[in-house]
């Protein structure tokens, strides 16, 4: 099945610990994105990557880091510098280069992170 | 950056009723998507509609880019339509910006 997978589904972290959220896609999409969603609110962009080995900060990148070593993988690390990390994290991917809907985003099921 | 507003913020319907959700945006966009977020948090693509009108079963959407709004129509609503509906827009050379959502509850 083609799609986007995220793991784990639920994650609990103690204060001061770094954690890494996994995102994998087999849609052959060029671009991948990480969003954060707080209760009752919309999504905010953390980081995005349009090609392998390149990524850019979104609107709320402080306290987060990413890597893009493979086209299909875009892991997100929530560092201890992130002051309020408890949230729902969603990964998305979009577009084949030159495609008609190259910016249409598709989302994974999300990871719920709770800091204890 | 682009500002996105959605109305109404909350909507309660009886099963079988029709509804219209609205998305207003503050600047020119070249991409627009509608999503349904189910109770488990999954975002489901409804429409990719930077302009024009599209229909998919009981749902349809219209975007009037020159007037900076999009409408999502839900006809003969079902309890499974409950959840949050998001509009996301993308300006030229920018990333997608999400609206705050419309929370829909369909009662049996």
Confidence check: pLDDT of B3 > 70: yes
Residue ranges of B 77-96 with Cβ closer than 8 A to chain A? 86, 88, 90, 95-96
Task: Share the mean pLDDT of chain B.
Answer: 96
Residue A57 gets which letter from DSSP? E
pLDDT in tens, A30-57: 999 999 999 989 999 999 999 999 999 9
Sequence-distant (≥ 6) Cβ neighbours of residue A23 within 8 angstroms: A4, A5, A6, A32, A34, A73, A74, A75, A76, A91, A108
Confidence check: pLDDT of A98 > 60: no
Contacts of A35 in chain B (CB under 8 A): 98
Residue B103 gets which letter from DSSP? E
Longest dimension (CA), chain B: 44
Residue B18 pLDDT: 97
Contacts of A93 in chain B (CB under 8 A): none
Residue B72 pLDDT: 98
Residue A81 pLDDT: 87
Task: Share the mean pLDDT of chain A.
Answer: 92
Side-chain half-sphere CA neighbours of B97 within 13 A: 21
């Amino acid at each position: 099945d083609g799609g986007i997978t995220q793991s784990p589904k639920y994650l609990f972290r103690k204060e001061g610990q770094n954690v890494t959220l996994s995102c994998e896609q087999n849609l052959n999409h060029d671009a991948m994105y990480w969003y954060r969603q707080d209760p009752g609110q919309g999504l905010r962009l953390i980081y995005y990557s349009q090609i392998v080995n390149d990524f850019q900060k979104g609107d709320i990148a402080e306290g987060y880091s990413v890597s893009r070593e493979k086209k299909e993988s875009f892991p997100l690390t929530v560092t201890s510098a992130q002051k309020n990390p408890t949230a729902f994290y969603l990964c998305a991917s979009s577009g084949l280069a030159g495609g008609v809907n190259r910016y249409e985003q598709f989302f994974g099921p999300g990871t719920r992170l709770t800091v204890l | 950056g682009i500002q996105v507003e959605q109305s109404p913020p909350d909507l309660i319907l009886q099963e079988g009723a029709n509804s219209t959700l609205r998305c207003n945006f503050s600047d020119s966009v070249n991409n627009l998507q509608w999503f349904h977020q189910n109770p488990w948090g999954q975002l489901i693509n409804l429409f990719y509609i930077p302009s024009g009108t599209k229909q998919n079963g009981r749902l349809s959407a219209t975007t009037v880019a020159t007037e900076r709004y999009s409408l999502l129509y839900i006809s003969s609503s079902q309890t499974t339509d409950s959840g949050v509906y998001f509009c996301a827009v993308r300006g030229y050379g920018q990333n997608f910006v999400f609206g705050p959502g419309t929370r829909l509850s369909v009662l049996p």
